[in-house]
Amino acid sequence: MTPALDLIGLAKSYGALRAVIDVGFAVPEGSITALIGPNGAGKTTLFNLITNLDAPSAGEARFFGQPLAGMKPVAIAALGLIRTFQTARVFPGMTARENVLTGAHLDVRQGAAQQMLWLGGARREERRLTAKADSLLALARLDSFADMPVTELPMGGQKLIEVLRALMARPRMLLLDEPAAGLNDQETAELAALLRAVRDAGITIMVIEHNMSLVMGIADDVIVLDAGSVIAQGPPAAIRNDRRVIEAYVGAEPDRA
């Protein structure tokens, strides 16, 4: 079966700095893969390379077999590969519901002209999308926040809104960059439940995360990046005990005199 995402020899250098060095792995469809590693390991850079926000110095990425080289981020999103960003990038100045609705842009068939003429088709579509957004908000238990300015929501809520927004885009795969950053334990549990449900609904997920409880709880596969290279890959239980990984994170055990 074609993997959802296939990375082959991806590399990126900024002058003398080698940020990503020969990274290659495959993400099977319908799985949750966690990409972990210490600060500065190159995880977000890797996401940028995949979605072509940054052009790779070498290698390529394939999405369900389709090479992504040279495609604009807009086109990649249209293929069904949707990504979120590290800092909560909800759109201020709009309500929570409107933020979620923005994700449906790829799904909108009635253009601006039809909307401005208040044609029946446009109004029906708006109703359909609004109902869908409301259902998603209810699923995530955020329906009471629907009409609030999105920046009024607690950070956990904003991060969930970002995920819901991505879901509106009819994704086949989600690239989530630190969705649990700044969340407390309860919010993390809610996010975990949602991500599991998303995976069970057939959408592939790759997350960059520092929050180990989330990673250990829901990931099917864990890939560890350090200084631009993959240093370990495997199921959570195996990674947890991997000495190299522990060293990379918490620091080498110093000599005990």
Partner 1 sequence: MLELRGIAAGYGRAAVLEGVEIEVKAGEIVALIGANGAGKSTLMKTVSGLVPVRAGEIRFDGRRIDALSSAKRVALGISHVPEGRQIFAGLSVEQNLRLGGYADASGVSAERLRRICAPFPMLLERLAEPAANLSGGQQQMLAICRGLMGNPRLLMLDEPSLGLSPLLVGEIFRVIAELRAQNLAILLSEQNARQSLAIADRGYVIETGRIVLAGAAADLFANPELAEKYFGVGVSVDAASSAGQAERLKAILAT
Partner 2 sequence: MLNAAQIVIGGLLQGGVFALVALGFSLVFRVARIVNLSQGAFCIVGAMAMYFLQTVYGLPTIVAALCAVAGGSIFGLAVGATTFVPALARLPTSSMLMLTAGLLTFIEGLVLVIWGNESYALPPFSGEAPVVLLGLRVSSQGFWIAGMTAFIVLALWGLIFRTGFGVALRASAQNPFAARLMGIDVGRVTLVSFSLAAGIAALAGILIAPITSLQFDSGRFLTVFGFVAATIGGLGSLLGAVAGGLLLGVTEQLAAGYVSSLFANALALLLLLATLLWRPSGLFPAEPLRRTDVAAVQRIHRAVVRLKGRGAALFIAALVIVLAVLPMIVPPGLVASLAIAMILFIAVLGLDVRMGYAGQVSLGQAGFMAIGGYTAAILATTYGVAPLLGVIAGIALSLIAALVLAGATLRLRGDYLALATLAFGLLIDSLTVGLVDTTGGPSGLVGIPALSIGPIVFGTPRAFYWLALGLAVVLAFALYGGMRSGFGRALQALRTDATAAAALGINVTRMKLAAFAISASLASLAGSLYAFEFHFLSPEMVDTRHSFELITMLVLGGEGTLVGGLFGTFLLTLLPTVFQPFALYKTLVEGGLLVVVFLYLPEGFLGRVATWFAPRTPRTMVESYDSST
List C-alpha distances in Å: 129 to 110, 151, 199: 12, 22, 22
The site partner of 233 among partner 2, partner 1, none (C-beta below 5 to 8 Å per kind) is none
The single-letter code of the amino acid at 230 is V
79 binds partner 1 (CB under 8 A): no
Pick 113 or 252: Cβ nearer partner 1: 252
Scanning 2-10, 76-84, 109-117, 197-205 for contacts with partner 1 by CB under 8 A, the matching segment is 197-205
Nearest to partner 2 of 206, 245 (CB atom): 206
Give the residues across from 58 on adjacent strands.
Answer: 11
For residues 60 and 229, what is the distance between their CA atoms, to the nearest angstrom? 15
Q: Where are the alpha helices (DSSP H) in 119-228?
A: 120-139, 155-167, 185-200, 212-218
Beta carbon of residue 153, minimum distance to partner 2 (angstroms, whole number):
12
Type of residue at 157: G
Of the chain, the end-to-end C-alpha distance in Å amounts to 53
Interacting residues of 72 by C-beta distance below 8 A, sequence separation 6+: 52
**Binder among 35, 61, 122, 215 for partner 2 (CB under 8 A):** 122
Is residue 246 part of the contact set for partner 1 (CB under 8 A)? Answer: yes
Member of 1, 112, 252, 257 binding partner 1 (CB under 8 A): 252
Q: From partner 1, partner 2, none, which one binds at residue 149 (CB under 5 to 8 Å depending on kind)?
A: partner 2
Site residues, partner 2 (CB under 8 A): 51, 53, 72-74, 77-78, 82-85, 87, 89, 91-95, 98, 101-106, 108, 110-112, 115-118, 122, 126, 129, 147-149, 151-152, 165-166, 169
